[in-house]
A and B are shown apart, each in its own frame.
Chain A
Amino acid sequence: MKETILKVKNLAVSYTTYRGKVRSVRGLSFKLKKGETLALVGESGCGKSASVKPIMGEHEANQVIESGEITFTYDGPQGEETVDLLKIDDEKMQQEIKGKQIAMIFQDPMTSLDPTMKIGKQIAEAIKTSSSDLSSEELTDKVRELIDMVGIGHIDTVMNQYPHQLSGGMRQRIVIAIALSSDPSLLICDEPTTALDVTIQARILNLIKKLQRERGLSVIFITHNLGVVANVADRVNVMYAGKIIETGSSEDIFFDPRHPYTWGLLSAVPDVHDNEEKLPTINGTIPDLTKEIVGDAFAPRNPYALEIDFKEEPPMFSVNEHHEAATWLLDERAPKIEMPELLQQRIMRMRGEVYD
Chain B
Amino acid sequence: MKKYILKRILIAIATLFLITFILFLMEKAMPGSPFNDEKMTHEQVQALYAKYGLDKPVLVQFWNYIKNMMMGDFGVSYSLQVNTPVTQIIAQHFPVSLTIGLLATVVGAICGFVMGIVAALKHNTMIDSLMTGISVLGVSLPNFVVALILSIIFSFQLYLLPAVYSADRPFISIILPIIALSTFTMASAERYARSEMIEIMHSDYIRLADSKGISRRQLVLKHVVRNTLISVITVLAPLMIDLIAGSMVVEKAFAIPGLGTTYISAIQANDYNVVLGITFFYAILFIGIMLFVDILYGIIDPRVRLDKG
> A residues within 8 Å of B by Cβ?
56, 58, 61, 94-95, 97-100, 103-104, 106-108, 111-117, 122, 125-126, 128-130, 162, 164, 175, 178-179, 181-182
Pick from B23-31, B46-54, B93-101, B208-216 the stretch touching chain A: B208-216
A111, B205: Cβ atoms under 8 Å? Answer: yes
Contacts of B227 in A (CB 8 A): 114-116
Closest 9 CB pairs of A and B: A99-B213, A98-B213, A162-B302, A112-B204, A126-B212, A99-B212, A111-B204, A129-B213, A114-B205
Q: How far is the CB of A289 from chain B (nearest CB, A)?
A: 21
Q: Mark B116-149, 1 if CB is under 8 A from A, else 0.
A: 0000000110000000000000000000000000
Q: Is B56 among interface residues, defined by CB-CB distance under 8 A?
A: no
The total of interchain contacts (Cβ-Cβ below 8 angstroms) comes to 85
* Chain B residue nearest in CB terms to A60: B202
Q: Cα distance A94–B216 when bound, in Å?
A: 9
Q: How far is the CB of B72 from chain A (nearest CB, A)?
A: 42
Q: Is B81 among interface residues, defined by CB-CB distance under 8 A?
A: no
Q: How far is the CB of A183 from chain B (nearest CB, A)?
A: 12
Q: Which of A107, A162, A178 contacts B212 (CB 8 A)?
A: A178
B207, A112: Cβ atoms under 8 Å? Answer: yes
A100, B205: Cβ atoms under 8 Å? Answer: no
Interface residue count on the B side (C-beta < 8 Å): 26
Q: List 9 A-B contacts (CB under 8 A).
A: A58-B207, A107-B204, A111-B204, A112-B205, A122-B209, A130-B213, A164-B302, A178-B208, A181-B212
A116, B207: Cβ atoms under 8 Å? Answer: no
* Chain B residue nearest in CB terms to A126: B212
Residue of B124, B209, B211, B226 with highest tally of chain A CB at under 10 A: B211
B205, A115: Cβ atoms under 8 Å? Answer: yes
Contacts of A116 in B (CB 8 A): 226-227, 230, 300-303
Q: Which of A95, A98, A113 contacts B205 (CB 8 A)?
A: A113
Q: Which of A103, A115, A128 contacts B211 (CB 8 A)?
A: A103
Contacts of A179 in B (CB 8 A): 211
* Chain B residue nearest in CB terms to A93: B213
Q: How far is the CB of B197 from chain A (nearest CB, A)?
A: 14
Contacts of B210 in A (CB 8 A): 58, 98
Known contacts A99-B213, A125-B209, A125-B218; 9 additional CB pairs below 8 A are: A58-B210, A61-B124, A106-B204, A113-B205, A115-B227, A116-B227, A126-B212, A128-B214, A129-B213
B207, A106: Cβ atoms under 8 Å? Answer: yes
Q: How far is the CB of B282 from chain A (nearest CB, A)?
A: 33
B203, A111: Cβ atoms under 8 Å? Answer: yes
Q: Mark B259-275, 1 if CB is under 8 A from A, else 0.
A: 00000000000000000
Contacts of B123 in A (CB 8 A): 61
Q: Is B223 among interface residues, defined by CB-CB distance under 8 A?
A: yes
- Given contacts A106-B207, A113-B205, A115-B303, is CB(A94)–CB(B215) below 8 Å? yes
Q: Cα distance A122–B208 when bound, in Å?
A: 10
Contacts of B214 in A (CB 8 A): 94, 99, 125-126, 128-129
Contacts of A99 in B (CB 8 A): 211-214
B208, A106: Cβ atoms under 8 Å? Answer: yes
Contacts of A164 in B (CB 8 A): 302-303
Q: How far is the CB of A57 from chain B (nearest CB, A)?
A: 9
Contacts of B203 in A (CB 8 A): 111
Contacts of B205 in A (CB 8 A): 111-115
